[in-house]
Structure formats: structure tokens, C-alpha cells
């Protein structure tokens, strides 16, 4: 089974609208469009489990697939916009969310085909032969990351966080993670209280002790200074299409 990223960027994505920086120009030349951070697992029966739903073209990508579940990290637009189209699905879709009664826009007012269930901290759900646990994170809205356990591997999908609470760190350390994907939205010199940067994210990955670590949720404003500095980070930023066998 593969864990695949549909996008690994922040809200604006790469190339950013009307941006002429090197990173955006290079993306245009290679016809790359890397939008909001969002990933999926394709189960053995061909059905899909989504982690976040901000990817613009979800309905095209999975038009005739069964979407077994959507695990939403939080209700910011870049993680849930795809639900606006998915709610018109002819099939019922189960969407698991953090404890957020506000949601986004009119998603809760017009639920249509989507059934929302709020997860308790560290609650675990079994879907086919995988289990998914909600891991509390600190962000500007109620937010969780997910620990995904397949028969072979443990994956932590931790996007959008300013810090990982102590209890979550302890839980993640004990899990002995194979692949850890973590928010590193900014460069260290950019002051921000809602997201990690590549230095603070690296410290967390070292501390949690994952076998392999990766950085996500960056914009070109982060990748340009990284490129200019010539720095090689201990854990790489990944791009859309990145996948690992799990």
C-alpha cells in the first residue's frame, strides 16, 4: 500500500499566483502545480482514505473511487475546501475531525452526503487493516495530526502546528514511527506563532525519533531563502506526488 501526497504546500501553493521567484518559475517550466497539503492511502479493495481534503481536484482524481473516510486535521480552507464538492457525492462519506463545532463556511449547515464525527484526543479508528489515531497539535484552530498504522509501517501525518504538546510527543515517541511528515511552513527568521519552521520541525523529528522525517506545508517564500542559503537540511521538503510504501 502506498501513502501518497496530492500536495505538500501551504494555501497559495507553488507556483504562487503572479510570483516570479526562481522556485515558482522553475515549477512553471516543469508544469508542476503543488497546492495544499493533502495525502491518501489506497486500500487493497481500491477504496481511498484521505488525510485532509484541500486538494482542488479531489473530485476529478477520485471520481469513481469509493472514499472510505476523510481524516481532517482542522477546518482551515487549505485543508477542507475539497469537501465543498465532495458533499454532493452520490455516496455517503465519513469525515473525522478534531473537536471543532464551527467547522468551515457552510459545511456544517449543508452537510449533504458527508457525515462528520469529532474525534477525542488519541481516539483510534480501525478501517480495513489500518488504524488511525488522532494526535492533538497546537495551531490557531482545534487541530490534530494522525498516526496511521498499517500491518507493515507506522506513519505520522502532522501538518499545521506551532508546537506538539508534551503528551502527543510522548505518544509519538512510544509509537516508534517509520515515516514522520511535519509542518515546516516557514524559514527560521520569519517570526510566526502558528506554524513550525525548518529548524523547530527538525528538532521535533529528532526528539520523536522517527526512522525517516520529511517537511511539508512550505511556500516559495520559505523555499527561496533555503535555496539561496545553499543549506542542505537533515530532513527534506517533499513535493506533490511524493509517496512511501507502507
Category of 71 on φ-ψ map: left (φ > 0), alpha (ψ -120 to 50) or beta:
beta
Please, are residues 229 and 217 in contact by the beta-carbon 8 Å criterion?
no
Q: Which residues contact 216 (CB under 8 A, 6 or more apart)?
A: 5, 8, 37, 159, 181, 182, 183, 184, 237, 238
- Please choose, out of 9-17, 100-108, 163-171, 200-208, the segment that lies near Zn ion by the rule CB under 5 A: 9-17
Q: Does 76 bind Zn ion (CB under 5 A)?
A: yes
Q: Of 4, 12, 19, 121, which lies in the binding site for Zn ion, with binding defined by CB under 5 A?
A: 19
Q: Is 78 in the site for Zn ion (CB under 5 A)?
A: yes
Q: Is 44 helix (H, G, I), strand (E, B) or coil?
A: coil
The answer to whether 160 contacts Zn ion (rule: CB under 5 A) is yes
- What is the rounded CA–CA span in Å between residue 95 and residue 72? 7
Residues that bind Zn ion (rule: CB under 5 A) add up to a total of 8
Is 195 a binding residue for Zn ion by CB under 5 A? The answer is no
Choose the stretch contacting Zn ion; rule: CB under 5 A; options: 21-29, 38-46, 146-154, 174-182. Answer: 21-29
Q: Which is nearer to Zn ion, 1 or 83 (by Cβ)?
A: 83
21 touching Zn ion, by CB under 5 A: yes
Contacting Zn ion (CB under 5 A), which of 119, 220, 238, 244? 220
Rounded to 5°, the CA angle 109-144-236 comes to 125
In eight-state DSSP terms, residue 1 is -
Which span (14-22, 90-98, 124-132, 147-155) binds Zn ion, by CB under 5 A?
Answer: 14-22
Instruction: Give residues in contact with Zn ion (CB under 5 A).
Output: 16, 19, 21, 24, 76, 78, 160, 220
Amino acid at each position: 500500500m502506498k501513502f501518497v501526497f496530492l500536495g505538500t504546500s501551504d494555501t497559495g501553493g507553488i507556483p504562487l499566483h503572479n510570483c516570479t521567484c526562481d522556485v515558482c518559475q522553475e515549477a512553471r517550466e516543469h508544469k508542476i502545480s503543488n497546492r495544499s497539503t493533502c495525502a491518501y492511502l489506497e486500500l487493497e479493495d481500491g477504496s481511498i482514505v484521505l488525510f485532509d481534503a484541500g486538494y482542488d481536484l479531489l473530485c476529478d482524481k477520485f471520481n469513481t473511487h469509493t472514499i472510505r473516510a476523510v481524516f481532517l486535521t482542522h477546518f482551515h480552507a487549505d485543508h477542507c475546501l475539497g469537501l465543498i464538492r465532495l458533499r454532493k457525492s452520490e455516496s455517503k462519506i465519513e469525515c473525522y475531525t478534531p473537536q471543532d463545532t464551527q467547522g468551515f463556511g457552510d459545511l456544517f449547515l449543508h452537510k449533504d452526503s458527508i457525515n462528520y464525527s469529532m474525534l477525542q484526543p488519541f481516539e483510534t479508528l480501525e478501517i480495513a487493516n489500518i488504524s488511525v489515531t488522532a494526535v492533538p497539535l497546537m495551531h490557531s484552530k482545534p487541530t490534530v495530526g494522525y498516526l496511521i498504522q498499517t500491518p507493515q509501517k507506522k506513519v505520522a501525518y502532522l501538518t499545521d502546528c506551532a508546537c506538539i504538546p508534551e503528551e502527543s510527543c510522548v505518544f509519538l515517541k512510544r509509537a516508534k514511527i517509520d515515516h514522520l511528515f511535519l509542518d515546516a511552513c516557514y524559514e527560521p527568521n520569519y517570526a510566526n506563532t502558528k506554524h513550525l519552521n525548518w529548524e523547530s520541525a527538525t528538532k521535533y523529528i529528532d526528539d520523536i525519533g522517527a526512522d525517516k522525517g520529511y517537511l511539508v506545508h512550505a511556500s516559495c517564500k520559505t523555499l527561496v531563502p533555503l535555496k539561496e542559503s545553499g543549506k542542505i537540511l537533515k530532513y527534506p521538503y517533499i513535493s506533490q506526488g511524493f509517496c512511501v510504501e507502507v
